[in-house]
Structure 1
Amino acid sequence: MSNVIQTERLHLRLMDPDRDAADMLALLNEPGFIRNIADRKVRTVEQARDYTAERVLGSYTLNGFGMYAIIRRDDGAWLGNAGLVRRAELPGPDIGYALRAEYEGQGYALEAARGVQHYARDVLGYPELYGIVAPHNERSAALLRKLGMEARGTLHLPPPVDEQVLVFATPGAPVVPASP
């Protein structure tokens, strides 16, 4: 079934543009996603299918990793996504995660992120990871700290995001050059 990561309560599986389009549309339009990550301007199922095919599957092909669908094991519910992102501005992969609002506050984001962290280190051979968060997103900053990451300053992400973000990294990861 294309599971990549398995945790106590979750499967993280490869995304499928057709199968996951409606769920991705809902996630990308969550107020918290728009406020804390970005407005991807995806408003239809077709746009969500194209976004998933281009951005997610493209990352699998180009980088050998990407974002994975978070599926709850006991009932198959699609909770959100988590995985790794390659950004030109960072010397290593960036761990990312996003949940539908109805699943927040139940430990799923931390469990998924820990699964991704172990997968990155033990399977892909990336012991050093980064995480970025909007300066106002203390919940995500706290989650990165629980993963053992340390604050490393700020970074300006180029358009379309065009935002200053906080950078976290695992101990020993190369320092990110300061942004203006």
Structure 2
Amino acid sequence: MIVAETERLIISKFTTRDAAFFKALVNSPSWLKYIGDRNINTIEQAENKIKESHLKSYKTSGYGFYKLLLKTENLKPIGTTGLIKRPELEHTDIGFSLLPEYEGKGFGFESAKAVMVLAKEEFKLNKICTITLENNKKSIVLIEKLGLTFDKKVKPFENDKELMLFSKNL
């Protein structure tokens, strides 16, 4: 189901049919370096993660992470951008990730801007946040370009990694 469209992208909900793409994305070098290994090594594990995470989030929150489909390449999936309400964070978190060959081409900004419009207009969110590692310089540039500002350093998860928390009023 399509949730938004930009100049170059169709933004739509994940389904279990996206398992092969999702498996490739979560095992890409940037994902592993900056987000972490999710131990998704089979199509079945990817399907289960989509069910447990994406599909559940659509039902419980009304939103979640969406796949990015490139219009010029027959709607090839190239990444994800979306919203997630994490119990560890006060506000809904916006996140994004792209396959390596599509990084640095403006797709993260383009998709995140569209998702921020959804956050405000459709989901009636007043504020969003995002978290990232301090060494994820490309992500920080994008986050700041989107108008989010640094709030503080946090350790929201059990792994005890310190993350930078950014936020923006919508």
Q: TM-score, normalised by structure 2?
A: 0.95
Contact kept in structure 2, 1:150 and 1:171, CA below 8 Å:
no
| Secondary structure in structure 2 of the residue aligned to 1:125 | coil
Looking at structure 2, the residues matched to 117 and 110 of structure 1 have their Cα atoms a distance apart, in angstroms, of 10
Contact kept in structure 1, 2:149 and 2:167, CA below 8 Å:
yes
Aligned to 1:67: 65
Looking at structure 1, the residues matched to 80 and 138 of structure 2 have their Cα atoms a distance apart, in angstroms, of 17
Identity %: 33
Indicate which of 40, 43, 59 corresponds to 1:42. 40
Looking at structure 2, the residues matched to 141 and 94 of structure 1 have their Cα atoms a distance apart, in angstroms, of 14
Aligned to 1:170: 168
For structure 1, the 5+ residue unaligned runs are 173-180
CA shift digits 1:11-64 (9 cap, x unpaired): 1101001x1000000001011101111110101111001111111111111111
Matched residue count = 169
| Secondary structure in structure 2 of the residue aligned to 1:74 | helix
Looking at structure 2, the residues matched to 147 and 108 of structure 1 have their Cα atoms a distance apart, in angstroms, of 12
| Secondary structure in structure 1 of the residue aligned to 2:81 | strand
- RMSD after superposition: 1.2
| Secondary structure in structure 1 of the residue aligned to 2:23 | helix
Is residue 113 of structure 2 the alignment partner of residue 114 of structure 1? yes
Looking at structure 2, the residues matched to 128 and 24 of structure 1 have their Cα atoms a distance apart, in angstroms, of 28
Contact kept in structure 1, 2:88 and 2:157, CA below 8 Å:
no
For structure 2, the 5+ residue unaligned runs are none
Contact kept in structure 1, 2:92 and 2:129, CA below 8 Å:
yes
- 1:171 is displaced (CA, Å) by 4.4
Q: TM-score, normalised by structure 1?
A: 0.90
Aligned to 1:100: 99
CA shift digits 1:73-107 (9 cap, x unpaired): 22211001110011112221100010000111110
Q: 1:112 to 1:123 in 2, by over 3 A?
A: same
| Secondary structure in structure 2 of the residue aligned to 1:42 | coil
Looking at structure 2, the residues matched to 153 and 9 of structure 1 have their Cα atoms a distance apart, in angstroms, of 34
